[in-house]
């Protein structure tokens, strides 16, 4: 029995969500949530996959130590705790679960908004302290108020729907969406300054990047109404916490509600803790039973896909294939890798100067990034000591000075509805291989200028020869006398008595000594053995 893949879960994840991973054949799951960083560093080399939430820091050192790692999965939206660049260079796929806790985060945002509007946490503490001064907690209605959202992504759109149900009017600032996109959702798209000036409640829903850190600072807060309130259920650091405390203390805004912080856990001496106009929760945006089960299941299924050499649905450092395109593209990704391996064995140790991928037919309508990466993987895997996969293939090719090109020809070639062509140049020669998926199986259908279709599997013997009587028979006779069994034979030629390409499928590899004997046959130009 093959050695099982080993998967380490180093943060607390929903056990129900992990069930698909536990039930998957050939996978062993270890849950160890008590590891210190140095302990994790010591054992990570034994694992093929790592599942985390936000506690485990997946550093460059950890990635370097993970010699077997193929995938790092974050059960949540962000990947702030993962060195994605280091993972990409190591050929490790990073996946997350961007949709699993969207509703939970949106509902928590609305809960925080209502708590701000009606002073609910403060009033609760007041009553528990034995007091009853109702006048201290006069609130505001959210009906007819303006909600301004920084960002209009998945979570923000769910917040918008709920806010509109409460009778709020919504503005949004997002430089990456169009006005039509916003209008279709009943939202008016504005610039950041307009958003600040007009909002009664401001909520941020953007990742923490170099462009968004301290996006809302003291100057931005001073543009707001003194009755305005600010929320952050996205990422700590988008709103400058010191500036927020200062603005609330100065009466420049009426209050704030934060679920995320620049430093988590929030330090005991943080001034946020002592301001009774600021509501705090300990990063609860995704903390519902339903959300935690969903994000764990989302990453578990992706880990299974990666370990079985299938594309991950939400890969952070690889092209994302929409679910409705996966069924069509996956066979062509497999075909492109086989074609790459095929050409590599034809050119031997020659260096590669250029790789060109051409798609004909319906295939040309799809993103070719994975298909191109598959071809590169097939071409380079046997040459490099580091892992080559769909994540780092393009990067490794570019580092080797290989020119990459892709072409799309939307009309289909007469023989095949969808055709994939791989052209590889070396300093001394050029090889062109064509392929297609026929009844769900990978086929090579052309070698250089000869059309010859055969399954892209198993042991192959290829010859280029002058089309003369008896050559095919002599090759078959010699193989038979050496007990090499032929499973199929296909020949392609441009015209009678010209050069032809013959492909034989054999049950076992053709021995080198037998190749020398075959090469002695008159009119044979070259012989190549290939295993796919």
Q: Which active-site residues does the annotation give? A: 235, 264, 283
Run of H or E residues at 459: strand 459-466
Q: Tell me phi and psi for residue 493, to 5 degrees.
A: -150, 155
- Whole-number Å distance between alpha carbons of 123 and 277: 12
How far is Cα of residue 364 from the mean position of the Cα atoms in its chain?
21
How far is Cα of residue 489 from the mean position of the Cα atoms in its chain?
41
- Whole-number Å distance between alpha carbons of 138 and 140: 7
* Residue recorded with tokens 């129900």: 16
The 169-173 sheet, strands edge to edge = 188-189, 169-173, 146-150, 201-204, 229-232, 255-258, 278-280
Apex 477 CA angle, 482 and 526, nearest 5: 90
Paired tokens of 417? 């509805």
3 state DSSP class of 326: helix
- Whole-number Å distance between alpha carbons of 292 and 382: 41
Query: Which alpha helices (H) appear in 392-502, and where do they start and end?
Result: 393-399, 471-481
- Distances in Å between the Cα of 280 and the Cα atoms of 117, 271, 275, 308 are 14, 12, 10, 43
- Distances in Å between the Cα of 160 and the Cα atoms of 205, 246, 309 are 11, 28, 38
- Whole-number Å distance between alpha carbons of 515 and 383: 24
The DSSP call for residue 321 is P
Q: How many CB atoms lie within 10 A of CB 2?
A: 5
Q: How many CB atoms lie within 10 A of CB 209?
A: 12
How far is Cα of residue 477 from the mean position of the Cα atoms in its chain?
51
Cis peptide before 63 (omega within 30 of 0): no
Paired tokens of 425? 């140049």
- Whole-number Å distance between alpha carbons of 429 and 335: 23
Query: Which alpha helices (H) appear in 67-217, and where do they start and end?
Result: 84-89, 102-118, 120-128, 154-165, 179-183, 192-198
* Residue recorded with tokens 């010191």: 242
Task: Convert 153-180 into a string of H (helix), E (strand) and C (coil).
Answer: CHHHHHHHHHHHHCCCEEEEECCCCCHH
């Amino acid at each position: 029995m093959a050695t099982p893949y080993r998967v380490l879960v180093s943060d607390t994840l929903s056990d129900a969500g992990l069930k698909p991973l536990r039930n998957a054949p050939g996978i062993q799951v270890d849950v160890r949530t008590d590891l210190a960083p140095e302990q994790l560093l010591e054992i990570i080399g034994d694992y093929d996959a790592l599942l985390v939430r936000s506690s485990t820091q997946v550093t460059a050192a950890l990635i370097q130590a993970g010699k077997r790692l193929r995938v790092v999965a974050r059960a949540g939206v962000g990947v702030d705790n993962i060195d994605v660049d280091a993972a990409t260079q190591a050929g490790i796929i990073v996946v997350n679960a961007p949709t699993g806790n969207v509703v939970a985060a949106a509902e928590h945002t609305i809960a925080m908004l209502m708590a701000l509007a009606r002073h609910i946490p403060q009033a609760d503490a007041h009553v528990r302290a034995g007091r009853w001064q109702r006048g201290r907690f006069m609130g505001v209605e959210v009906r007819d108020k303006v909600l301004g959202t920084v960002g209009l992504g998945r979570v923000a759109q769910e917040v918008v729907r709920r806010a509109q149900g409460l009778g709020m009017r919504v503005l949004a600032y997002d430089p990456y969406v169009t006005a039509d996109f916003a209008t279709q959702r009943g939202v008016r798209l504005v610039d950041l300054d307009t958003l600040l000036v007009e909002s009664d409640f401001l909520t941020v829903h953007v990742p923490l990047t170099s462009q968004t850190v301290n996006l809302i600072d003291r100057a931005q807060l001073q543009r707001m109404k003194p009755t305005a309130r600010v929320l952050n259920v996205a990422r700590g650091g988008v709103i400058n916490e010191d500036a927020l405390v200062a603005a609330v203390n100065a009466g420049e805004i009426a209050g704030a509600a934060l679920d995320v912080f620049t430093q988590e856990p929030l330090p005991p001496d943080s001034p946020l803790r002592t301001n009774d106009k600021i509501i705090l929760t300990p990063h609860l945006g995704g903390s519902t039973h339903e959300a935690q089960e969903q994000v764990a299941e989302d990453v578990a299924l992706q880990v299974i896909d990666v370990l079985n050499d299938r594309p991950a649905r939400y890969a952070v450092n690889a092209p994302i294939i929409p679910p409705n395109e996966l069924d069509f593209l996956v066979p062509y990704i497999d075909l492109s890798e086989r074609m790459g391996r095929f050409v590599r064995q034809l050119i031997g140790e020659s260096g590669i100067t250029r790789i060109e991928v051409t798609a004909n037919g319906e295939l040309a309508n799809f993103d070719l990034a994975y298909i191109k990466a598959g071809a590169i993987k097939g071409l380079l895997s046997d040459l490099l000591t580091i892992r080559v996969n769909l994540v780092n293939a393009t990067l490794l090719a570019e580092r080797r000075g290989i020119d990459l090109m892709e072409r799309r020809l939307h009309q289909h070639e007469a023989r095949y509805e969808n055709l994939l062509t791989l052209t590889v140049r070396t300093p001394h020669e050029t090889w062109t291989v064509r392929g297609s998926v026929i009844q769900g199986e990978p086929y090579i259908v052309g070698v250089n200028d000869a059309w010859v279709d055969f399954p892209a599997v198993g042991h192959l013997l290829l010859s280029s020869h002058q089309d003369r009587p008896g050559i095919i028979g002599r090759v078959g006779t010699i193989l038979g006398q050496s007990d090499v069994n032929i499973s199929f034979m296909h020949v392609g030629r441009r015209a009678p008595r010209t050069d032809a390409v013959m492909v034989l499928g054999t049950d076992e590899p053709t021995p080198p000594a037998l190749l020398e004997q075959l090469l002695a046959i008159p009119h044979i130009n070259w012989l190549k053995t290939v295993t796919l």
